[in-house]
Amino acid sequence: MSARSETKRLSVPDIRARKGGTPLVALTAYSALTARLVDAHADILLVGDSLAMVEHGMDTTLGATLDMMILHGQSVMRGSARALVVVDLPFGTYEESPQAAFRSAARVLSETGCSAVKLEGGAGMAETIGFLAARGIPVMAHIGLTPQSVMVLGGFRTQGRERAEWERIEADARAVAEAGAFAVVVEGVVEPLAERITAALSVPTIGIGASARCDGQILVLEDMLGFNPRVPRFVRRFGEVGAAIDKAVGDYAEAVRERSFPGPDHVYQPKD
């Protein structure tokens, strides 16, 4: 039996138990290749609907489909062994009713083998979260800046800059946690509000553009690796992989054009 097959995958109770403990490390992953590279370091791998933009070149996340999420979710499950894998429910697949959300979530879990789904929305989605949780579907909630609502929000706008907004955002956080979400992504929320929400909830908060005092952090992998020349303020570029790829491909192109590749070590010769 391989070491990989002996690896025990983190569970939803494992993640919930990390509340107030060692911060949770979460990253997006969209393929078996990237999942394999980051699995040993991450506690949570999110197959986010951000793949519509990162992998498929769309302007927003709204173009992600359920079939698309399932395909990428299957790939990430094949490439990972340790991290808890969560798959986003894309826009239009859960908002209509708790029953519609259940059908979408059931497909995701059964067809990918992932451990949980994530959906956006605060108090307005509490009934749906409770409906799913009561039927054995673990849910990660997502409040604050919710990219699927970008049209309503008027763009990717930081939430909570005006203190008048705080009560509503805090109410959203409490509602989804009380409904049964095992963790809550807090995105694009001013730091003191993110700290208040983290202190108030009994489940872990996962910050992105929020606060270091959240119970964990998540970033889009391609952003933190330097694939994209322009990234949000909250992203720290931990590597410059994009520049390295650009140089490697440029070197390859030059070698091909000057006929220095393939060389003697890269071709086959007859035996005689």
> Digits of tens for pLDDT over the chain (272 positions)?
344 557 899 999 999 999 999 999 999 999 999 999 999 999 999 999 999 999 999 998 999 999 999 999 999 999 999 999 999 999 999 999 999 999 999 999 999 999 999 999 999 999 999 999 999 999 999 999 887 765 455 556 777 688 999 999 999 999 999 999 999 999 999 999 999 999 999 999 999 999 999 999 999 999 999 998 888 889 999 999 999 999 999 999 999 999 999 999 999 999 98
- Binding site feature residues: 49-50, 88, 118, 120
Q: State the Cα–Cα distance between residues 106 and 108, nearest whole angstrom.
A: 5
- What angle is formed at CA 174 by the lines to CA 171 and CA 178, rounded to 5 degrees? 140
CB atoms within 10 A of CB 234: 15
- Binding site feature residues for Mg(2+): 49, 88, 120
Three-state DSSP state, 181: coil
**Token reading at 138:** 């673990």
**Token reading at 71:** 């395909």
Q: State the Cα–Cα distance between residues 239 and 221, nearest whole angstrom.
A: 10
CATH superfamily to which 3-239 belongs: Phosphoenolpyruvate-binding domains (3.20.20.60)
Distance of CA 250 to the CA centre of its chain: 31
Options 187, 191, 195, 258, the catalytic residue: 187
Q: Judge whether 211 and 230 are in contact, CB under 8 Å.
A: no
Question: Could you tell me the residue ranges of all domains in the chain?
Answer: 3-239
> Is there a catalytic annotation at residue 187?
yes
The DSSP secondary structure of 58-70, one letter per residue, reads: -SSGGG--HHHHH
218 burial (CB, 10 Å; 0-12 / 13-18 / 19+) is buried
